[in-house]
A and B are shown apart, each in its own frame.
Chain A
Amino acid sequence: EAGVVQSPRYKIIEKKQPVAFWCNPISGHNTLYWYRQNLGQGPELLIRYENEEAVDDSQLPKDRFSAERLKGVDSTLKIQPAELGDSAVYLCASSLDSGADQPQHFGDGTRLSIL
């Protein structure tokens, strides 16, 4: 079974530039999560999708962050414009469904560096 696939693995941009990350979840997984992991910390949830619907985006900074999952499979996370404090690893995870005890499987993440 292929795992969660993310791209790119690394991204370096200057502040105020836009950036986008892509995620392909495990086949058949209806629930998709985007997390942000700052250096030396645990992941923090940004947004959760049930199929194509964003059901929890309370931690997403909506002034500059946006996400979509148009066909309920792949997802993109965008930042525009990027700020220095956005430097982090952006992790995508998926689970079979949104049950509270469903294991979440993570991708390798995109390491974003803002210059």
Chain B
Amino acid sequence: GENVEQHPSTLSVQEGDSAVIKCTYSDSASNYFPWYKQELGKRPQLIIDIRSNVGEKKDQRIAVTLNKTAKHFSLHITETQPEDSAVYFCAASIPGRRALTFGSGTRLQVQP
């Protein structure tokens, strides 16, 4: 089955700096890669997603890049703010199962 690895597990940045979280996946047939933000005790919230026919997608301060050849994708957050502090999860679709395999999460802390 699909395996998704995510790193780093924790990331601390100063307010205004950029943050990058990276994920790799194992099944080359995976074609959908969402990113979720989860604040403590709250639901995972979809913040951005990318499909395999696109190499990059941007939404304001958030961008995701996909390298299908290397089977990795990354989340980029620019001009970080304290409210960006949360746990971020990457995920990949499971071909044939139409469900998501999640990474283990990255705890991002933005220091004011």
Contact = CB atoms under 8 A, between A and B. Distances in A.
Interface string B30-51: 0110101000011111100101
A33 B91 CA distance: 15
B34 A104 contact: yes
A25 interface: no
Interface residues of B, number: 27
Interface in A80-94: 91
Nearest to A56: B97
Contacts, number: 62
- Range of interface residues on A (Cβ < 8 Å): 20 to 34
Contacts of B4: 42
Interface in A1-46: 3-4, 31, 33, 40-45
Contact of B49 (A44, A56, A103): A103
Contact of A91 (B32, B44, B91, B98): B44
Contact of B103 (A33, A42, A45): A42
Given A43-B44, A91-B44, A103 B99 contact: no
Interface of B: 4, 6, 31-32, 34, 36, 41-46, 49, 51, 89, 91, 93-95, 97-100, 102-105
Interface of A: 3-4, 31, 33, 40-45, 48, 56, 91, 98-101, 103-109, 111
